Amino acid sequence: MSLPGPWLGGSPAAPLIPPISPHRHLLLGGQRGHVAALDWQTKSLLCEINVMETVTDITWLHTETMFAVAQRRWLYVYDNQGVELNCLKRFNGVLRMEFLPYHFLLATASETGFLQYLDISVGKEVATICTRGGRLGVMGQNPANAIVHLGHSNGTVTLWSPNVKEPLVRMLCHQGGVRAVAVDSSGTYMATSGLDRKLRVYDLRAYQPLQSLVLPVGAGHLSFSQRGLLAAACGDVVQPPHKPYLSHTLPRAAHSLRFCPFEDVLGVGHGSGFTSLLVPGAGQANFDALENNPFRSQKQRQEWEVKALLEKIPSELITLDPGQLGRVDAITMEQKHQERVERLGFDPQAKPAFQPRRKLKGRSSAGSLLRRKKKVANEEQRTKIRKSLEQQQAPEREPKAAPRAQRPALDRFKK
């Protein structure tokens, strides 16, 4: 499938492809201001507008009814009919955008070196971070933990969270500037390409390189599929690196590329328009209808939107290790317990002292109650002594290695 690109002033405008919506909708943006949204399976056009301004990036938001456009000056939000919903003047000079679906956050990277987060559910700016890394033209996200990856001109890749003003991790990946960053859907592997014409794959669990390749032409764009295939745009050639599984030559140089979810299709934007490439084995064959349903109705979409808003994850929970949120901090619990004991003057969790029950018919005399208290106290003391003796005798019960018999010095001459 090949769709013609927008034409303005007699010359083609290179389209930019954002993440394709998991609900069969495609969004195209041209560098000269052309924006179009369509159903890529039926080819029915939803809207087509011209913002009369340079478009640097474009992306869907939580549903296919709204999308964000980073224009030359400010950030704009439109609906699927092309109507402008909002103009965010605090987000100026935006070059790259990434939408975090489970947190309803729109992360933007600007030409002045600022990383900003916008909560689209309430329209509030969550965080503004000065990265001190210069122009931010390379950006990616980890779908597993919502960490934003930024590539810099000094060859480093930094990992960011909206809760910390400093990078969580700083990795030196290339000897030259970083051109593209991509993270697979499991959040385990990260692929980077730089001006040194090298393509490297890193293990994000240990932050160690797994493989390094030298390409004839440096890869300007990278994209992982749902099944782990890696596509690299090397000039006007799109191919998986290292013994290419497929290779395709485009009419002009590629400007962006993304895999279509649940389909074996790779969308490529280039200088002459937009091209869809068939890549067997790229998409997942099955989908979770409760998570991403490509065939959902309008009623199902409305119900899903309400449920997603109720289950929105706060931005304060974005960390490198999501499993850390479910662990118990034993040290903090002990400190809180000690503070509570000091404040109350007694330990509320301590075992209460034994109080014998009163018996009838004169069997609850003072001497009888005292004897029963002493009996219980002696039993508790014997239990503590028994446990301490068992701990002391445990090393002694372990079998000791038999001493090695020493051979006479002359035995080595025996036959």
pLDDT 10s digits, 122-132: 989 999 999 99
C-alpha span between 107 and 112 (Å, rounded): 15
pLDDT for 156 beyond 90: yes
Cα 331 to Cα 354: distance, rounded to the nearest angstrom: 30
Percent of the chain with pLDDT over 70: 85
Q: Is residue 52 part of a domain?
A: yes
Number of domains within the chain: 1
Domain containing residue 162: CATH number: 2.130.10.10
- 375 within some domain: no
Q: Are 85 and 78 in contact (CB under 8 A)?
A: yes
Q: How far is 226 from 284, CA to CA, in rounded Å? A: 6
Residue 217 inside a domain? The answer is yes
Task: Specify if 115 maps to a domain.
Answer: yes
How many CB atoms lie under 10 A from the CB of residue 195?
14
The pLDDT-based confidence of 16 (bands split at 50, 70, 90) is low
d(CA 233, CA 221): 5
Residues 6 or more apart in contact with residue 1 via CB below 8 angstroms: 265, 275, 276
Distance CA 72, CA 3 (A): 26
The pLDDT assigned to 288 comes to 81
C-alpha–C-alpha distance, residues 104 and 305, integer Å: 11
Beta-ladder partners of 30:
15
Whether 165 is covered by a domain: the verdict is yes
Residue 386 within any structural domain of the chain = no
pLDDT at 402: 52
- Its domain, for residue 110, covers 15-316
Looking at residue 51, the DSSP 8-state letter turns out to be: -
Express each pLDDT in 85-121 by its tens digit.
Answer: 999 999 999 999 999 999 999 999 999 999 999 999 9
pLDDT category, 360, cuts 50, 70, 90?
Answer: low
Residue 78 reports pLDDT greater than 50: yes
* 281 close to 227: Cβ distance less than 8 angstroms: yes
Task: Output the pLDDT for position 23.
Answer: 66
Give pLDDT, residue 347.
77
- 256 assigned to some structural domain: yes
Q: Per-residue pLDDT for 6 more than 70?
A: no
Q: pTM value? A: 0.74
- Nearest CA to 26 out of 296, 303, 257 is that of 257
Asked if residue 2 is part of any domain, the answer here is: no
